[in-house]
Structure 1
């Protein structure tokens, strides 16, 4: 179905090809997962299949890519639209109409399908993706995850033979992600659709892959093969694989079910030990240690960080917020103290982003009260409010206006009253290798997030809000983000992050707050909340339940301590 013949892609100004030596065939009716660190060329390789590379992105494509016999060098994307459906990292850039139903129909209208066929396929897709209740909704009013499902649905309705998906579950809650992946499975198994997918959240998708296409390092030829075999050599891998590597299992498990079947001896080795709660332990240890990041500290040691006897960083009481006809939040109570990291979780549309927007003053409460530090957000001038709270939005581009990374950082330092280089040091810490003269529009989703986070952190707000902060980040970049956030919490910053990333919440959150239909339905210490919730439990918890193990790092530390004591 898809044939790569000695393919390489070099962009203008690039010292070396972004991808090279791609020579392989993707058979019809298989789900192939592209795996590799950020920057190895996964999105570029997907773009060669859809024709976006080089027709839209520019650059030089050498070799030949054919899809259903059509050469993508001589066929532009619109000439491939009937055989290739594409969903990129950014669903907003994908939409051309205003409402959900119109968007699902648009691609078929472009292909000239009969009205009866279009109506039937729209209904089928609404049901497949759980969008029926949203059919008349303006796309602008949807949550990020709902937009992602609409974007996927809009390319399903023309019934393409090949689907090209770049991080299709990145904005979805765990249940919605499973629904989308189940749909993809049905398309592959029942209709023979070929799916080529890149996804950083491997814990969600690797078990569905028929084959893995591993891009281990920039410029290295990719390898296509068995998922378990390639996970054994991949530089990026999900927690279930990390636990299998730690326990010495072979072949490596790709599913929680397979790992649970093998976990008996590991449970025996862990018997009598209690998991160290990493977020709390790290917070305590770092408060007792000298600060190691002068660009964060700005003259204040962790021991001088705000104490809990001071006013809370955020206090929400009986909050209700309406957005048009929708009651987005109702009767919400939430208090966040200095030095605390809180994960907001819940299905798409539960009200997580609305709560963050209210905390930063973008939305006015319908009733109830919100205070951040000593300020009422929606009544406080922006220049004053940034001294209390900063928001990294779900769409990082909303904070980016300058023509280069260096200019964005210089403006951020100036606005925040920070020393020159403060913002730039943060960018380098989170994602090394971003050049000063790079235009923000040329950054990947993960790189834009790093830049937006650095811009907000330059002001060192006592309360930091992050909306889906790991979207577009690979495991190593996520680890660097965790290090930075732990350092901020240790210095007394309060952090509230809205996330569908259960692995991030397990690793960094002191508390988890679950929202459903605008109400708080759970609020407590992370282990207690996630262990009792199948939807929000991390992989290690599911494998080693009912014990409260959350991360591979906890297991590794416990095994090391047990071996040292024996």
Structure 2
């Protein structure tokens, strides 16, 4: 269905090609998983299938990519639209209408689909993706995860033969991600749709993949094969595979929690007399963020109802819950983007009211890295962004660039922020906010677009901030990140707090939010691969 013949892509001004020597075939009716560290060219490879590369992005494409027999060099994206459906990393860039139902219908209108067929497919897609209650909602009022489902749905309604998806579950809660993956499986198994999917959260998708394409490093030729064959040599691995490596399990490596549990008996016996090192309690101190009986309305929708939250210096708190539960609204309220309908919000040691405080003053008390990091980036180069951040924060020149170097070791000063991958843009936005070293840092889906190595660097940075007395609140669907980093987990549902307690207690008690290691080693109290590694290395 998809064939690459000695494909390379080189962008003007780039020191090396984004892709080189790609020679592979994706058969019809298979789910093919594209894997590799951030910045290795996964989005570029996906773009060559839809024709966005080079017709839309520019650059030089050598070699040949054919989809259902059509050469993407001579067929522009609109000439491939009836065959290839594409959903990129940024759902907002995908939308052309104002409401959910109109967006689901737009692609079919463009292809001249009959009205009765359009109506039926819209209804089917609303049900498939759990969007029926949102059909009349303006897209601007949806959460990031809800927008992601609408973007996927708008492609599914056209019934393409090939689906190209870039990070399709990155903004989805675990339950919604399972629903989307179940839909993709149904399309592959029942309708013979070919799915090419890039995803950093391998723990969610790897067990569903028929084939895996590994891009090990920038410009390197890809490796192809079964996931169980390639994951042991991959620079990025889901926790269950990394755990198998620690335990010395022979091949084939387990790809699912169920398979890992069947082989984990001896490992559980080794770990039974041991205990994870307890998470250090944050130092005592007055709150740097406090929410009391907070209610926030978006028009007729009550996004938050009677929420209480206190965050102290050195504490890391994970906000979790379904898409639309109110996590982003709570973070936005802490930086004054919403005025409370009732209740109060205070931030900083001096307990200022965010929505009544000037931005320049608020920046030194609280900083927010939003789901869309491009909202914070406006300069033409990474160096200019860093210089502006130093000036805004009153920091020494080079402070922001030093942070960028820690998070993004290979990004050049001259790179344009829009040319960075989603994960790289997020890391740059994080460095811009951290330059002011606010006592309270807010991160909205901070691992969206990050591979495991970049996530490990983020964990190191946040832990360093906690050791220096900075508090962090992160809204996340990444259960692995919460298990590794958070002192506390707060779960929101329908705008209300339904759980608030130590991470180990809250995530283990919820099957939806339990990390893979916890599920494999239950009922033992282990949550993460680093915990297990540390314990095994400390014992003879």
Q: TM-score range by the shorter chain?
A: over 0.9
- Structure 1 portions without partners, runs of 5+: 285-306
Residue 268 of structure 2 contacts residue 524 of structure 2 at CA under 8 Å; is this kept in 1? no
Residue 531 of structure 1 contacts residue 546 of structure 1 at CA under 8 Å; is this kept in 2? no
Partner residue in 1 for 2:492? 515
Q: 1:418-463 deviations in whole A, cap 9, x for unaligned?
A: 0000111111100112111211111111111111111111111000
Q: 1:175-227 deviations in whole A, cap 9, x for unaligned?
A: 00000000000000000000000001101111110010111112221121111
Cα root mean square deviation, aligned: 1.0
Inter-partner Cα distance in structure 2 for 1:378 and 1:546:
45
Partner residue in 1 for 2:328? 353
Counterparts of 1:277-356 in structure 2 under 5 Å? Answer: 277=278, 280-281=279-280, 308-309=284-285, 311-356=286-331
2:410 equivalent to 1:409: no
Inter-partner Cα distance in structure 1 for 2:233 and 2:332:
42
Inter-partner Cα distance in structure 1 for 2:463 and 2:432:
18
Counterpart of 2:336 in 1: which secondary structure? coil
Counterpart of 1:165 in 2: which secondary structure? strand
Partner residue in 2 for 1:121? 121
Counterpart of 2:539 in 1: which secondary structure? helix
Partner residue in 2 for 1:302? none
Q: 1:73-113 deviations in whole A, cap 9, x for unaligned?
A: 00000000000000000000000000000000000000001
TM-score (norm 2): 0.98
2:446 equivalent to 1:445: no
- In the TM superposition, residue 248 of structure 1 has moved relative to its aligned partner by 1.2
Partner residue in 1 for 2:265? 264
Partner residue in 1 for 2:75? 75
Inter-partner Cα distance in structure 2 for 1:524 and 1:113:
52
- In the TM superposition, residue 16 of structure 1 has moved relative to its aligned partner by 2.5
Q: 1:312-364 deviations in whole A, cap 9, x for unaligned?
A: 01111111111111110011111110000000000000000000000110001
Counterpart of 1:232 in 2: which secondary structure? helix
Task: Choose from 524, 545, 549 the match for 2:526.
Answer: 549
Counterpart of 2:140 in 1: which secondary structure? helix
Residue 339 of structure 1 contacts residue 492 of structure 1 at CA under 8 Å; is this kept in 2? yes
Partner residue in 2 for 1:289? none
Inter-partner Cα distance in structure 2 for 1:55 and 1:216:
26
TM-score (norm 1): 0.94
Partner residue in 1 for 2:476? 499
Q: 1:514-554 deviations in whole A, cap 9, x for unaligned?
A: 00000000000000001111000000000011122110111
2:513 equivalent to 1:536: yes
Inter-partner Cα distance in structure 2 for 1:25 and 1:225:
11
- In the TM superposition, residue 232 of structure 1 has moved relative to its aligned partner by 1.2
Partner residue in 2 for 1:562? 539
Q: 1:489-529 deviations in whole A, cap 9, x for unaligned?
A: 00000100000000000110000000000000000000000
Counterparts of 1:35-434 in structure 2 under 5 Å? Answer: 35-249=35-249, 250-277=251-278, 280-281=279-280, 308-309=284-285, 311-373=286-348, 374-434=351-411
Aligned residues: 537
- In the TM superposition, residue 41 of structure 1 has moved relative to its aligned partner by 1.0
Counterpart of 1:542 in 2: which secondary structure? helix
Runs of 4+ in 1 over 2 A off after TM superposition: none
Inter-partner Cα distance in structure 2 for 1:545 and 1:200:
25
Residue 38 of structure 2 contacts residue 424 of structure 2 at CA under 8 Å; is this kept in 1? no
- Structure 2 portions without partners, runs of 5+: none
- In the TM superposition, residue 142 of structure 1 has moved relative to its aligned partner by 0.2
- In the TM superposition, residue 557 of structure 1 has moved relative to its aligned partner by 1.5
